[in-house]
Amino acid sequence: MVAALAAAQSDEVAIPPTPAGRTISFFPYRGRWHGADVAYSIQLSPDRFLWLFGDTFVGRPDTQRIPGDSMPRNSIGIAECPSGQACHLTYAWISRRSGPPSAFFETGTPEFYWPLDGFVSGDTLYVVLQKMHSAGDGGAFGFDYSGVVLASVNNFMDPPNLWKIVYQPILSGNTVIPGVAAVGPTAAESSADPSAAGANAYFFTWVKNGRSPEVALMRLPSTSLDDAAISSGQWQYLTKSGAWSSWTTPASLPKDAKVIVRGNYTEFTVIYHPELRRWLMTLPGGFMDGAALLSHANSLTGNWSTPEPIYNYPESQPSNADHAPNVFCYAAKEHPELEGNSTFTFTYACNSMKQTEVLANPRLYHPVVVNIPMSKLVGPAKK
């Protein structure tokens, strides 16, 4: 499937400020892009980065959000970031000759894709997509999982309107979602972590598990990324003993699967920091927690520390101008390409149960950039 009619909205954006703080200018409300959430980022080359967004407000050029804005289920941004200069960001979705704009990654059915994490392996970009469908009363949480798909793009250095996207089903159902965070083969092998040796892609996996959701860890050989269905027999899961075992039951995990972290973490990032000799896991926290969380480990396979708060979302504080009983914050993810030598950078987004609040307040439903001194988070691993 070719995204041949991708529409682009281009703008200059500033590198987020230091020290710690927040800025709305990094994702400008110019052109037709009026805000989105999710905000994973993937390095495509030393100076080029892909941003993945979820539901996206697309409206009239240079206006505020209005009830008539369209909302494609996903969009992307391409950031060109020459060293020492401001980034140049181009948004893209599918624009048709008639009808409203639609998602950049499109199912062609009433179901839709929300992006998860991704990586580049060899000469191919891979993006994990969760396939969704409407459910319940159609309110703020009126959706459910249909399955997981791996999208691949061989010509990802071309303009997005020329991308040739191939969609591979991984699994169906709503109980096991691999790819809520992903570590590509190149990042794993360059980490100096013995547990990540070998050419594998690692997929942190949300497991429904009744009322006690948890995260497990899967891996897939890089040579099998173009044959990614569970039925291929190439997937493995990490066991409690630290071994890897074949995974062939997509609707469930074997009872001996190791729990990496416990909690309802459906989107996060895992990044290796050589200066710390540790992996850092940035988590959104629950809607009621009001804080971004951090876990860390010397090894990709664990043991991971108990997630701890690192930043209280200001919008969750009654004294904040954007606070309201219906507002909640989520989607915390690290972006190492924006970090200095001693700075930890992540984004989050806030939403509301009431659409009128989101339409009226441009500081909601928009990636917020936060910088924290790395020294406040975790010290280097002991030799």
206 pLDDT more than 70 = yes
- Looking up tokens 């108990």 gives 306
pTM for this one? 0.93
Residue for token digits 């990490």? 238
pLDDT the model gives residue 16: 43
- The full DSSP string for 10-78 is EEEEPPPPSSS---STTS---TTEEEEEEEEEEEEETTEEEEEEEEEEE-STT----TT-B--S-EEEE
Least confident range of 149-153, 164-168, 208-212: 208-212
CB-CB contact of 3 with 157 (8 Å): no
- What's residue 6's pLDDT? 56
pLDDT band at 25 (very low <50, low <70, confident <90, very high): low
Mean pLDDT of 173-200: 95
Please compute the mean of the pLDDT values over residues 59-87 and round it to a whole number: 86
The predicted pLDDT at position 112 comes to 97
- Mean pLDDT for 81-96 is 83
Torsions phi, psi for 177 (to 5 deg): -125, 90
How many other C-beta atoms lie within 10 A of the C-beta of residue 134? 12
